[in-house]
Amino acid sequence: MHPSVKFSGDFAIQEIAAPANLPHCKAYMLDSCSVFVGKEPVTERGIVRMRWHLSISNRKRYTNWNEIKAARYELVPHDVTMAMILPPPTQYVNLDSNCFHLHEIDGEA
């Protein structure tokens, strides 16, 4: 596979191989940031729905707003509303200290 490179403003986005333990995701490098994006099952009021989830991280620093924005608008459909959610501490999971997560929520439109 020869990964393609596309540009979003000042950022190069390149698809890379996703880890085998994340079969629902695609993986990308956005300059020096790792991005994982895909749809995953979420249970809402007893109903399982497939929702978008994007995680973005950089091993050396927090990603900045422009990087988060570029990943979101290049890798998730534009008609999806995404939010950064801070769940109760008992539900908080983050394998990388510099990782941010965006989750699909119901849109306001």
pLDDT in tens, 29-64: 999 999 999 999 989 899 999 999 999 999 999 999
At 87, the pLDDT band (50, 70, 90 cuts) reads confident
Q: Please give the backbone phi and psi of residue 73, each rounded to the nearest 5 degrees, phi first.
A: -80, -20
> Which amino acid, residue 87?
P
| DSSP 8-state symbol, 1 | -
1 has pLDDT over 50:
no
Q: Kindly state the average pLDDT of the residues 89-105.
A: 84
The reported pTM is 0.84
Architecture, CATH, for domain 5-105: 3-Layer(aba) Sandwich (3.40)
